Structure 1
Amino acid sequence: MDLVINAARAVTAAGEVPATIGVDGGRIVAVEPAGAGLDGDRVLELGDDVVLLPGLVDTHVHVNDPGRTEWEGFASATRAAAAGGVTTIVDMPLNSLPPTVDVASLEVKRKTAEGRVHVDVGFWGGAIPGNLADLRGLHEAGVFGFKSFLLHSGVDEFPPLDARGLEEAMTELRTFDGMIIVHAEDSDAIDHAPDPHGEKYEDFLHSRPRGAENVAIAQVIELARKTGVRAHILHLSSSDALPMVESARRDGVRLTAETCPHYLSFTAEEIGDGATQFKCCPPIREAGNRELLWKGLADGVIDCVVTDHSPCTPELKRFDSGDFGLAWGGIAGLQLGLPAVWTQARQRGFALTDVVRWMAEHPAAQAGMRRKGHLAPGYDADFSVFAPDEAFVVDVAKLKHRNPVSAYHGRPLAGVVRSTWLRGEEITGEDPAGVLLTRGDC
């Protein structure tokens, strides 16, 4: 074999156990009990202070490339991913120019990414007004599904769908079993909410009420029920919606849901005036809401935890005025998702097997990836070597993403990624070895 890893601790189908992993040709070919005596050209010995995890799969990343590369870019984003134990990302269709709403724009994005990625990268398409005829072509070109908004997306070139447009898109996707992924906040509810401007986080929170999420999620559920399409709720932040999601699944609606590390880590009560690094949409809510999201994970109502990495330049965060209404909404967290979630999870009695389920196994399954997210024979040899008991304090100057802005700055976190491996080779950040993925081929 090309590589043998002897791990005192590894997260496999048997749980967290001692294991020997054999790799050949970039794939896992053997997972054996420790001491199995496998032979390899290279042998990696891991002590009991680290745990071998499957590489994480982050299906919600805004790379913003091409067109807004001053916000991020494929090289910096994928270095940050690798530094955080993430070996596969799926890029969102907006904030790049052009947005990924037809085959031609997908090809522009793929050409931009080619030869620049340090982890594997797939792409979502977009469902916007006027591109109904482009959806099948994008599906055939290999996108993993289609993102839509139910309110202004923040950029004019990616407009939202109204109720009729959403139903038409869902009906079209059902003809080829495509999946719709939805930013679920109701535009009418937000239009009638208080004004978001000012330095007080409480005012911003009131401008994006839970009810806006709840109404939109109910709409997605009922249209998914009607059309039979696969639907996925993005970045769920309102715990009020969890009973609706659970009920819909019992009824047979093909529905999944994700939340994000920042909703599981931060609380509205701790966000100070003018701290616009915490602005995101939907917003970070109250402490009680956070605990109910953790319960949703424990109960299996929330399937995945992904970062919604949405960086921007420092200027766009409007630190000059601290005005939440003017600041760009987005949390830069791609490199920090694993330690952020682990820090909170261990305090609540969860194990690394749970974190792997939420951040590797389920995101891979939700996107239809058949060779990602598990330490098992036949899967890609993508690994994270994670020291769960080592701690650090986040310093934005040491992060790999392009701009030194993050809500996690100064926060102590548990868990350090010692190394990340892609198809049996350690990622150094020097030679980009990631590949561009298409649906059905990974």
Structure 2
Amino acid sequence: MTDSVIISGGTVLSPDGPVAGSVLVKHGQIAALLSPGETAEAARQIDASGLMVLPGAIDIHCHIRAPAYPQRGTVASETAACAKGGITTVFEMPITDPCCNAPDRVALRRDHFSQSAHIDFGLYAAPVELTEAAFDALAASGIVALKIFTTPAPVGREHEFAGLAWPHAADQLRVLQLAARIGLPVVVHAEHAGLLAQAESAAALLDPADAATHNAARPPLAEALAVAQLLTMNITAGAKLHIAHVTSADTVEVLRRFAGSSDFSAETCPHYLTYTADDVARAGVCAKINPPIRQAADRAALWDALSDGTIGHVTTDHAAFSAAEKAAHEGNFLTAPPGHPGTEVLLPTLLDAVALGRLTIGQAMRLVSGAAAQRFALPGKGKLAPGADADIVLVDMADETHVTEGGLLTAARSVARLSHGARFRGAVVHTLLAGQTVWNGSLTGAQGLGRFITPHHQETAG
């Protein structure tokens, strides 16, 4: 009884859809979904009257990078921002210094996160050696997936990208083949290295202060061609291929044409769904993100792709930089560091789409929770069902999320200029991790509460 709670009076997103009722939690897991009128004893009660009761979001693409870059935030600050945004599990990308590319470095990252994470976390690794033994060792370290780029390492950031940058098709094919052997997904930042080199050379002659120059340097065709090449290779390789941060109508069309050809999935991000290149021009280099935010037609194509299932995941690509790091490149979209905070607007972006009728609540939560749990083999996550982790978010669809610099918890709040002033219909009001409140209008969860999550976490969960 001391470790039990009942969440009553809300509309619960059950596996069969939204229903009126209550959720009974015991020992960190969902014990039962109760119909109206059913009662159960519990040590605590949370009144969810007028609220939606949803599974916690799973952010499968996030860059925290602590402790190498403390000016960009800490594990505590960035996972606190996740909790505020309704994210209860976050996957950390391997780009830090040094790169997370070996079992001992996975262990270092795991131990560092365990000390102060407010929510559960999984880790990616980069495959620095393309051998069966190296891939077996990474799989045994407990990573959720592998990550690579199809582009060279940025100059000056080689330590961060050791094992990530594989610009040659033969190496990419080898990664896919080895990933297929161990059964882990491989997530790819896909831009064609040759086309990028050509485009960047031409863009060097343009005005670097013009936001359009960044799009010229990283054109949609480079993304679409790299994705087509990967999907072609995967027909033979048979990996669980996942395409990161899709930005363009061209790439959506490629994904549609390859539908059913192999085991692949794709994601996009709130900034691509909300903003256009015009907004980037307004916000300046703080809004520089790789790949770039595109045009209104691309944004519309991404929404269509979510609606018809061509893209099955929405994730943040949260990448915090300090104000000083961005300011040092003010007026130069070619040299400014790429990235923007996003954890506190992921779920509000999807709730807004529900309020507008673009998505149902079931579709929205599959995009930010259920599909991630399925794709990355986390059967205890992503659903409200008996036996699942009691990672739960209460949202008020009659309220709104008003994003202000002062209201953000991320350490990169000052550079979140794309989001400053944004308003989304729907608001996160309460976040629970394993049945414990971590956000309820203020941060309440203790540092270190989050657990290291590995594939097949709670495989026997209901």
8 A contact 2:215–2:292 mirrored in 1: yes
Distance 2:132 2:274 in 1: 38
1:143 matched residue in structure 2: 143
TM-score of the pair, normalised by structure 1: 0.95
**Deviation for aligned residue 1:431:** 4.2
* CA distances 1:15-39 after superposition (whole Å, capped 9, x unpaired): 2221211111111011122221122
Shift of the 152–144 alpha-carbon distance from structure 1 to 2, 3 Å rule, reads: same
1:99 matched residue in structure 2: 99
8 A contact 2:150–2:190 mirrored in 1: yes
AA in 1 matched with 2:336: A
2:5 matched residue in structure 1: 3
* CA distances 1:267-293 after superposition (whole Å, capped 9, x unpaired): 113332561121111111111111110
**Deviation for aligned residue 1:403:** 2.3
**Deviation for aligned residue 1:131:** 7.1
SS at 1:93 equivalent: coil
Aligned residues: 439
**Deviation for aligned residue 1:345:** 4.5
1:60 is aligned to 2:71: no
The counterpart of 2:448, out of the listed 424, 432, 436, is: 432
AA in 1 matched with 2:421: G
Distance 2:195 2:132 in 1: 26
1:411 matched residue in structure 2: 422
8 A contact 1:89–1:121 mirrored in 2: yes
Please list, as runs of the form range in 1=range in 2, the aligned pairs for 1:384-395 lying within 5 A after superposition: 384-395=393-404
Shift of the 315–344 alpha-carbon distance from structure 1 to 2, 3 Å rule, reads: farther
1:422 matched residue in structure 2: 433
1:202 is aligned to 2:209: no
SS at 1:341 equivalent: helix
1:173 is aligned to 2:179: yes
- The CA RMSD over aligned residues, in Å, is 1.8
2:287 matched residue in structure 1: 278
Identical amino acids, percent of aligned pairs: 27
SS at 1:192 equivalent: helix
2:18 matched residue in structure 1: 16
SS at 2:25 equivalent: strand
2:303 matched residue in structure 1: 294
1:220 is aligned to 2:222: no
**Deviation for aligned residue 1:303:** 0.7
**Deviation for aligned residue 1:249:** 3.0
1:333 matched residue in structure 2: 342
Distance 2:350 2:271 in 1: 9
The counterpart of 1:236, out of the listed 246, 250, 258, is: 246
**Deviation for aligned residue 1:147:** 0.3
AA in 2 matched with 1:411: A
8 A contact 2:381–2:389 mirrored in 1: yes
* CA distances 1:229-277 after superposition (whole Å, capped 9, x unpaired): 11000001122122332332323x0101011111111111333256112
Please list, as runs of the form range in 1=range in 2, the aligned pairs for 1:23-172 lying within 5 A after superposition: 23-48=25-50, 50-94=51-95, 96-128=96-128, 133-154=133-154, 155-157=157-159, 158-159=161-162, 160-161=165-166, 162-172=168-178
**Deviation for aligned residue 1:153:** 4.7
AA in 2 matched with 1:352: I
In structure 2, the gaps of 5 or more residues are 439-443
8 A contact 1:102–1:131 mirrored in 2: no
Distance 2:37 2:98 in 1: 53
SS at 1:98 equivalent: coil
AA in 2 matched with 1:409: H
Greater shift, 241-250 or 18-27, is seen at: 241-250
**Deviation for aligned residue 1:441:** 2.4
Distance 1:320 1:289 in 2: 27
8 A contact 2:11–2:19 mirrored in 1: yes
TM-score of the pair, normalised by structure 2: 0.91
Distance 2:283 2:56 in 1: 36
Distance 2:22 2:179 in 1: 43
* CA distances 1:302-345 after superposition (whole Å, capped 9, x unpaired): 01001010111112223663211121111201122111232244
Greater shift, 84-93 or 386-395, is seen at: 386-395
SS at 1:275 equivalent: helix
Shift of the 247–32 alpha-carbon distance from structure 1 to 2, 3 Å rule, reads: farther
Shift of the 8–108 alpha-carbon distance from structure 1 to 2, 3 Å rule, reads: closer
SS at 2:297 equivalent: helix
Please list, as runs of the form range in 1=range in 2, the aligned pairs for 1:253-268 lying within 5 A after superposition: 253-268=262-277
Shift of the 321–5 alpha-carbon distance from structure 1 to 2, 3 Å rule, reads: closer
Distance 1:423 1:330 in 2: 31
Distance 1:274 1:30 in 2: 47
Distance 1:22 1:128 in 2: 45
**Deviation for aligned residue 1:12:** 1.4
